Amino acid sequence: MKSLFKRGRTLGVLLLTALLALLPLAGCQGSDDAGADDLVLQVGSTKPFKTTNKFGDYWYGVLSGITTHDSLVKLDTNMQPSPWLATSWEVSADSKQFTFTIAEGVKWHDGMPLTPEDVKFSIEYQRDKIASSAWMKEVIDNVQVDGQDVIINLQLPYGNLLTEFMTYHPIPKHIWENVEDPDGYNGADRAIGSGPFKLDSWNETAGKFTFTANDDYFQGRPKIDRLVVDVYKNMDALVMSLANGNIDTWWDYSGEFPYTHVPTLQGTGQIEFATATFLGVPAAIGFNLDVSPTSELEFRQAVAKAINYEQIAELVFDNYGSVPTYGFAPSTHPNFNDSIPSLEYDPSAANAFLDGLGFLDTTGNGKREANGQEIKLRLLARSDTPSTVRCAEMVMQYLQDIGIGAQLTSVDSATWVAKKDAMEYDIVFFRATPWGNMMHASHGSGYFDSRRTGQGVLHNLDAQDYLDACDARLNTAVADQQRTLDLQLQQMHHDYLPGLALTWIESVYPYRTGWDNWVIDHIYGGVVNSFSWFTVTRTAE
């Protein structure tokens, strides 16, 4: 008797199922294994990499800056510009001419020499073709080549050019000169740079980059033979991998390693931590200066006094946080103004400010009123960083403690940008990245200057003397003048209070025991940075 469930058929169904399962997986390739003696560093990351086009993929662009590509100058661990592709540079007295002398004997990964002509091409190419480099159109007049020198003539004095150029990487002219649409360029040679590592493969399915050491690197061969960047979709999986020994360390730019996971890793006895002061501000608030009551300086001062910074540092940043000053950017930045007072939790002072403004609780229900109506502030936060949302919850509580009602809107980053630009908030929660704090006129001014636009910035402060100070700072490359203006700008953050840092933090950078001699870098990503490639060692277990 034939039956549907005859044994043979059951087996068939099983086989068919297995086949169906494996069918979609056909057509993937693996990469060949390296020698056993090779020094391999496995780095975990949670950044959403998609392609190996540094122009199309923001995160690959950042990663390429410490692996396959070089910049003209780099910021050293003392926060000073140091030579890299450019062996030296000169700035004219009026800050309108920058001359970079390019190192000799540098080669692209395909063996072609890197020439000053390539550098000139790269600057012009990025100015003309890359949307995010559009600022160059207003700043750079022309670029000349003279021997090994690249001379950049500016339309206006621009003191921040060196800092800006730390994130710009020369690209080979012979590859890109015919590429009209750099964002979408798919050629296999798009990853070729001059950096210490060559891109070997990118397996999107496995989420894995493999880089190999560049034997011909002009500063010497890196100590690591193979660099593997393992991409995870969430931090939990990455931390578990770190604990289980699948990866050696973690890389991110501008994100902090979640402190909540530190005890677990310490418990394994296999992981050590390096710390460095985070140059950004992981959690900050900005005020809407156009609407009442946040347009009142005393009100903003009241809010500043109402926040329990110690508690935020303890609960949200697990005691790795510290109480900031009114100056906004942390003390590791050059020209830090140490005469600016620290923020302070003082609810009675906050209440005094509010009483002084006449915002009283006349009905006795614990809620203050302005013009006969209970105050209800609109708080705006991004939902994608849990620590920000936690901060927002806490600030909401602190406001209630001084009789200020508040309503928290927590939205995805894109909605946040839209609402922030439409000024649909009274208090907005944001974060400042390390580069973000250094951009524009430095010390976080890029976040507050009302003339700025961009995804992360608030552009809420339009006081004329502040804008003038920003312009003056932008227009000079003279150290003394920069210092005076830096101190002044920080003072203005205190005086105008357009926003404030909720905490400053020590970032922690985990790495596997046995790896030593890292260079701890504040800005390029902790232990994983261009300097570490030439110092790091591994002792056999």
Partner 1 sequence: MHEMARLWHVVKRNKARTAGIAILALFAFFAVFATWIAPHDPWQFGRAFLSPSSTNLLGTNDVGQDIFSELLYGARISLTVGFAAGLLAVTLGTLIGLLAGFRKGFLDNLLMSVTDVFLVIPTLPLAILVSVYLGPSMWNIVMVIGLLGWPATTRVIRSQVLSVRESGYVESARALGAGDFWIMRHHVLPNVLPLVIAKFVLTVAMAMLMEASLSFLGLGDPIDKSWGMMLRYAFLRGGFVGGMWWWYVPPGLAIGLCILGLTLISYSIEERSDPRLKRALDR
Partner 2 sequence: MERHRHPVAAIAGKTMRYLIVLFIIMSLNFLLPRLMPGDPIMNILGEEAYYGSAQVLQELKAQHGLDQPLYTQYIRYFGSFFQGDWGYSFLCMRPVLEAVSLHLRWTLALVLPAIFLGALLAAVAGALAAWYRQSKLDVGLSAFFLFCYSMPTYWLAMLLLFIFGFQLGWFPLGKVTGGDASGLAYLLDVGWHMFLPVGLLVVSKAAYDFLVVRNSVVSIYGEDYVLMAQAKGLSQMAVLFKHALRNAMAPLVTVTAIQFGAILSGALMVEIVFSWPGMGTLIFEAIGARDYPVLQGAFFMIAVCMLTANYIADMIYVWLDPRTR
Q: What is the contact surface with partner 2 in residues (CB under 8 A)?
A: 1, 3-5, 10, 13-14, 16-18, 20-22, 24-25, 28-31, 33, 48, 50-51, 53, 56-57, 131, 183-184, 203-208, 232-234, 237, 240-241, 243-244, 246, 384, 412-415, 417-418, 453-455
Site for partner 1 in 369-388 (CB under 8 A): 381, 383-384, 386
> Do residues 78 and 279 touch, judged by C-beta distance below 8 A?
no
For partner 1, give the closer residue by CB, 315 or 520. Answer: 315
Least distance (Å) from partner 1 to the CB of residue 260?
Answer: 3
Question: 158-171 as b/e, with b when 16 or more CB fall inside 10 Å?
Answer: bbbbbbbbbebbbb
Phi and psi dihedrals of 413, rounded to 5? -60, -35
Element (H, E) at 414: helix 413-421
Residues 124-183 that bind partner 1 (CB under 8 A): none
- DSSP SS3 for 98: strand
Sites for partner 1 among residues 236-255 (CB under 8 A): 236, 239-240, 243
Q: Give SS3 for 322.
A: strand
- Position among 163, 415, 484, 491 found at the interface with partner 1 (CB under 8 A): 415
Q: In what order do the strands lie in the sheet with 281-287?
A: 405-411, 376-382, 427-432, 281-287, 499-501
Structure tokens at 452: 């700025």
Q: H or E element: which one contains 143?
A: strand 140-146
Nearer to partner 2, 38 or 90 (CB): 38
Report how far residue 276's alpha carbon sits from residue 520's, in angstroms, rounded to the nearest whole number.
Answer: 7
Give least dist CB 320 to partner 2, A.
24
Q: Residue 38: which of partner 2, partner 1, none does it interact with, CB under 5 to 8 A by kind?
A: none
Q: Give the Cα separation of 198 and 186 in Å (integer).
A: 17
Please report, as residue ranges, which positions from 305 to 344 form the binding site for partner 1 (by CB under 8 A): 311, 314-316, 318
Instruction: Give the C-alpha separation, 255 to 238, whole Å.
Output: 14
Applying CB under 8 A, what is the total number of residues that bind partner 1? 33
51 binds, among partner 1, partner 2, none (CB under 5 to 8 A by kind): partner 2
SS3 377: strand
Whichever of 404 and 485 has its CB closer to partner 1, that residue is 404
Choose the contact partner of 316 out of partner 1, partner 2, none; CB within 5 to 8 A by kind.
Answer: partner 1
| Residues paired with residue 97 on neighbouring β-strands, in sequence order | 153
Shortest Å distance, C-beta 30 to partner 2:
4
201: which 2 tokens?
């493969």
Q: Which does 30 bind (CB under 5 to 8 A by kind): partner 1, partner 2, none?
A: partner 2
Q: Which residues bind partner 1 (CB under 8 A)?
A: 234-236, 239-240, 243, 258, 260-261, 263-264, 311, 314-316, 318, 381, 383-384, 386, 389-390, 392-394, 396-397, 408-412, 415
